Each structure stands twice: as structure tokens, then as C-alpha cells.
Amino acid sequence: MESLVRRLAIESIWPRFCIRCGREGEVFCRPCQEAYRPRISFAACPFCGRGGSDRVCDECGPKTYLDGVISLAAYGDPVVREAIGLWKYHGDEQAQATIELWVRQLAQSLRLAEAVEAVSFIPLHESKKRSRGFDQAQELAKMVARLINRPVQEVLRRDRKTRAQAQLTNEQRLVGDLDGIFRVQGNLPQSVVLCDDVFTSGATMDAAARELKEHGVKTVFGLTLAKGSLKT
């Protein structure tokens, strides 16, 4: 009850506007829930965009430790971007519920992930998680795990802080820059799907996959809410 009162108080101070139509009220209004689905980016190699499958294609295979990446929507979609931002930076519960709704609606695109033993995520650095209060990638992993009926396993921890990939230019985004930022922990599964919010250059996820494979994990898939940069 107290949290409801507090929530209502917060909402009366900061009125909410729908991320799609801008109407005052909810973060994602009923009519928009009916009318809108995030665009499922068609199955494609995450690195070269060659279509057909979310698996990494034969040509890109030697350049990465990842076996494939599933993305549910395009980051260029302003509705998706707004929901991710509200959730990530403001911990907005309505935005989280909206994203969970989309993940459920897009469950058929998770087929590649159903072959794995466990669901995991790209962890935030502990200090960042503390200041933010939650880890968005971990919450996404829980949503996915519930849908495909697999356990969530924390297979990685982040050893040092990095600049956000989005703030880097392509030249700065060198894979070597990320060497050693992740360390494996616990008993590792044979196959795992790593969740994260956005897939851009893939360098972070590749560094995580590398650490896992060097410690005996056979298959590593990625799963992100969105793929691409603001420009796509």
C-alpha cells in the first residue's frame, strides 16, 4: 500500500506520457499495446547482416567467439529505444512491464536460445549495479529463462569498468580494449545464452563469449532487446 501511495505521488509530480503516441497517462497506453509490436529484426548474421539465420555465418565465424545473436527489435525504433532508456536509467517499472510484454510476444524468435542449458547475462560492474539498483541484463535473463524454462546462471563477473560502448567511435571500439574485463565464475554449463540490452559492435559480448569458451563452454549465443545504432 505504501508503495502504491508513493507511486501515485511520484506519478502526480511527473506525469507519464505514452512512449508511442505521447498521450498522458501510462508509459505504454492500451491502444498502443493493441496496435504496436516492435519490429522483429529478421534472422541474420549479427556481424554482416547476411540473412537466413541468427547464427554467425561461416565467413564471420573465425572473427568471433559467438555462435549467434538473437535481437528482438531495432535500436533505431524510437519506441523501443525510449522503453529501454526509461527502464535502464530510471528503473521505470511500467517500462520494464512493457519490455516483458514484448519479450513474451516475440517468444517465437527465441527458438535458437531454446537449445541452451542455461540463461545468463552480461553483468554490470558491481559499483554500477549498486548505484543503479538493478541490472537490466539480469532482469532480461530472468524474463527469457521463464519463457524457455531454463535456469539463470551467473557465469560471469565484470572485473573492471569500461566506458559505455555507445559513447565510443568505431575506431575506439577495439576488441583488445575489452580483454580481461570478464571473469568466469561457478560451474559452467556446456551451452549458454547471454542476455544484454543492446547489440552494437558486438565487442562486449564477444569478450564475454571468449572468456566462457576459453574455460570450456562449447556454445555461446547472445540475446538482446535491440540491435544496431541510432542511425539504423
Q: In the complex with Zn ion, which residue's Cβ is closer, 98 or 153?
A: 98
We find the least distance from the C-beta atom of residue 64 to Zn ion, in angstroms, to be 9
Please report which helix (H) or strand (E) contains residue 99, including its range.
helix 93-105
Ramachandran angles phi, psi of 198, nearest 5°: -130, 140
Q: Name the residue nearer to Zn ion (CB basis): 79 or 193.
A: 79
Out of 6, 8, 11, 21, name the contact with Zn ion by CB under 5 A: 21
Q: Is 86 in the site for Zn ion (CB under 5 A)?
A: no
Instruction: Assess contact for 209 and 65: CB atoms under 8 A.
Output: yes
Q: Measured between alpha carbons, how far is 65 from 47 in angstroms, rounded to an integer? A: 12
Does 47 engage in binding with Zn ion (CB under 5 A)?
Answer: yes
Binding status of residue 29 toward Zn ion by CB under 5 A: yes
By CB under 5 A, name the one of 16, 20, 88, 210 that touches Zn ion: 20
Please give the C-alpha separations between residue 203 and each of 35, 46, 125, 168, 174, in angstroms, as whole numbers.
35, 12, 17, 11, 7
Asked whether position 8 contacts Zn ion by CB under 5 A, the answer is no
Q: Judged by CB under 5 A, which of 16, 38, 44, 45 binds Zn ion?
A: 45
Outline where DSSP puts E strands in the chain. Answer: 68-74, 118-121, 156-158, 182-184, 191-199, 219-227
Alpha-carbon distance of 86 to 96, in angstroms, equals 8
Site membership for Zn ion, residue 101 (CB under 5 A): no
SS3 assignment, position 171: coil
Three-state DSSP string of 23-86: CECCCCCHHHHHHCCCCCCCCECCCCCCECCCECCCCCHHHCCCCEEEEEEECCCHHHHHHHHH
Select the span of 22-30, 129-137, 162-170, 224-232 touching Zn ion (CB under 5 A): 22-30
Question: Shortest Cβ distance from residue 49 to Zn ion (Å)?
Answer: 7
Residues 197-216 contacting Zn ion, CB under 5 A: none
**Closer residue to Zn ion, CB minimum distance, 123 or 202:** 202
Contact positions with Zn ion (CB under 5 A) in 58-77: 60
Choosing from 40, 43, 57, 97, the residue that interacts with Zn ion (CB under 5 A) is 57
- Binding-residue total with Zn ion (CB under 5 A): 10
Asked whether position 32 contacts Zn ion by CB under 5 A, the answer is yes
Binding site for Zn ion (CB under 5 A): 18, 20-21, 29, 32, 45, 47-48, 57, 60
